[in-house]
Amino acid sequence: MRNLLSFGIGLLFGIGLCISGMIGPNKVLAFLDLAGQWDPSLALVMGGAVLVGILGFSFAKTRERDLLGGPIELPAAAPIDAQLICGSAIFGIGWGLVGFCPGPAIVDVGFLDPRALVFVAAMAIGMAIYEVAHLRAPASLALEQDA
C-alpha cells in the first residue's frame, strides 16, 4: 500500500515537472540567465508548489500519524552550518552548468535519453561519494536530515 501510494505520488510529481517545463534544461537555464533573455516561468513553478505545499504542511504539523498509520517525519530543527552552505553552493554550480536538478533529471531518464542517463548515473555516484565520506567522518559530520 505504501509503495503503491509512493508510486502514484512519484507519477504526480513527474507529471507536474513535465507540465511546468522544468524537465527541459534549456528552460531552467533561461530562468537562471538573469543577464540574458530572462524566462521567469520557474519562479511561478516554485511559487505554485510552495502555495499548495503550505496548506499540506500546516495540516501535517497538526497530526502525528500519516494516513497509513506511520509517524509523520518532519525534519528536526538543525543549525545553519557549513555543510548546508557548502552543499547548497556546490549543488547550485552543478545546476547552473547543466540545467538539471535531481527530480527533472530522473524524469528525463523516462525518455531513454542517453544524456539524462549519464547525468543521473554521475549524480548517483556523487551521492555515493557523500555516503562514503559521511560514514568515515566523525560524528560532527553525521548530520541526518533527509530533505
Partner 1 sequence: MTIDWVHFTPWSALLGGFAIGAAAAALILGAGRILGAAGILGGALRLKPGDTGWRLALIAGLVLAPSVMTILGGLDRPRIEASWPLLIVGGLLVGFGTRLGSGCTSGHGVCGLARLSLRSFVATGLFMIAGFATVFLARHVIG
Contact between 92 and partner 1 by CB under 8 A: the answer reads yes
Contact between 110 and partner 1 by CB under 8 A: the answer reads yes
Rounded to 5°, the CA angle 84-51-70 comes to 70
Contact between 44 and partner 1 by CB under 8 A: the answer reads yes
The interface with partner 1 within residues 56-75 (CB under 8 A) comprises 56-57, 59-61, 63, 65-68, 70-75
Terminal Cα-to-Cα distance of the chain (whole angstroms): 23
Contact between 138 and partner 1 by CB under 8 A: the answer reads no
* Phi, psi values for residue 145, rounded to 5°: -145, 110
Site size for partner 1, by CB under 8 A? 120
Contact between 137 and partner 1 by CB under 8 A: the answer reads no
Q: Which three cell numbers stand for residue 86?
A: 557548502
Q: How far is the CB of 24 from partner 1 (least distance, A)?
A: 4
CA distances, 94 to each of 98, 113, 117, 140 (Å): 7, 19, 16, 26
Contact between 40 and partner 1 by CB under 8 A: the answer reads yes
